Amino acid sequence: MSGETQFFVELVSNGFLTGLMYSLVAVGFVLIYKSTDAINFAQGEFCMIAAIIVASTMTLYGFPLWAAVGISLIFMLGFNLGLERFVLRPMIGRPVVAIIMATIGLALMFRGLGPLVFGAETRPINLPIEQAPVIWGPFFMSQIDILGAAISVLFLAVFGWFFLKSRKGVAMRAVADSHQVSMAMGINVERYFALAWMLAGLVALLGGIVWGNAIGVDTQLAQLGLKVFPVVILGGLDSIIGCIVGGLIVGVCEAIAAGYLDPIVGGGTKDFTPYVLMILVLMIRPYGMFGKPIIERI
């Protein structure tokens, strides 16, 4: 294999791994959008706060990894349950924009509270793996990325199965389809909203750990929310499959841009390639590759 091809394959495979990690974060958006029609602009901050709690309890208080993850999980589930019950439920029936604004407020609050409570320094989340890259034939891959991708694949599969096959998942899709009809079928719609937010909290924790492990934990982690936005738009806001495909496309394009364009223009292309993709998709298929076109009946 020539050096040129090898370089390309390496970019693609690394892009793949990163892409899967994007997909995991993207699922958080889809969960909320599918069940409540709102976009949760605090999803990146959810990841950040979950990761900050894990990293801080480990480094500041010396908890083992499993305990730190447990504490963070309890916090995220509890917080999101309370959020749904006390902030979002009273807003049911109001314009979706009101809910979106509430999530933006929440995002800003987290950005302030995280450093205020735990300090602003960057902390690691060290998963028990080697730092040395895996060398597989001609390929170089970081173990951190491989583990992150593996965790992502596992949980994407679990969520996919949950939505497509399990009874609660089907009920959740029904709620997403029509609140009114679901109620007529005896479905307690509010309970499924709560479930959706708790799942979004769980996904945020997973994303926070995977990304915190890869790039370290501080408020910068909240940028994930914006980073992942093109993934969600690309794949379609209401599709889990879309998350995966969108994540892969964004991951690979980013890596290729960084590999080929950065040397020419002097760097930074990685950061805006996803948005160029997003704008292109918005022009051609505004509902994303796998999203459903919305037809309003009058």
Look at the block and give the residue holding tokens 């969600």: 232
**168 sits near other proteins (criterion: CB under 8 A):** yes
To 10 degrees, what angle do helices 43-59 and 96-118 make? 20
**296 sits near other proteins (criterion: CB under 8 A):** no
**74 sits near other proteins (criterion: CB under 8 A):** no
Closest contact distance (angstroms) between CB of 201 and other proteins is 14
* Listed ranges 98-106, 116-124, 132-140, 168-176: which one lies at the site for other proteins (CB under 8 A): 168-176
Q: H-type helices in 165-222, by residue range?
A: 167-177, 179-184, 189-215
Closer Cβ to other proteins, 266 or 293, answer by number = 293
Contact 28, 203 (CB under 8 A): yes
Closest contact distance (angstroms) between CB of 289 and other proteins is 16
Closest contact distance (angstroms) between CB of 23 and other proteins is 20
Binding to other proteins (CB under 8 A): which residues in 35-64?
none
Closer Cβ to other proteins, 4 or 297, answer by number = 297
Stretch 171-200: interaction string toward other proteins, x if CB under 8 A: x-xx--xx-xxxxxxxxxx-----x-----
User: Which residue among 150, 170, 226, 279 contacts other proteins (CB under 8 A)?
Assistant: 170
Number of residues that bind other proteins (CB under 8 A): 24
Tell me the CA distances in angstroms from 190 to 81, 172, 198, one per residue in order: 11, 11, 12
Closest contact distance (angstroms) between CB of 169 and other proteins is 8
Give dist(CA 115, CA 47) in Å, integer: 14
In degrees and rounded to multiples of 5, residue 83 shows phi and psi of -60, -45
**122 sits near other proteins (criterion: CB under 8 A):** no
Tokens of 108: 């800003």
Please count the CA atoms within 13 angstroms of the CA of 69 that sit on its side-chain side.
Answer: 17
For residue 134, the surrounding DSSP H or E stretch is strand 134-136
Closest contact distance (angstroms) between CB of 171 and other proteins is 6
Closest contact distance (angstroms) between CB of 188 and other proteins is 5
- Buried b or exposed e, range 194-204, using 16+ CB within 10 angstroms: bbbbbbbbbbb
* Listed ranges 35-43, 49-57, 73-81, 170-178: which one lies at the site for other proteins (CB under 8 A): 170-178
Closest contact distance (angstroms) between CB of 39 and other proteins is 19
**162 sits near other proteins (criterion: CB under 8 A):** yes
- Buried b or exposed e, range 54-74, using 16+ CB within 10 angstroms: bbbbbbeeebeeeebbebbbe
The DSSP code for 141 is E
The residue ranges that bind other proteins (CB under 8 A) are: 162, 165-168, 170-171, 173-174, 177-178, 180-189, 195, 292, 297
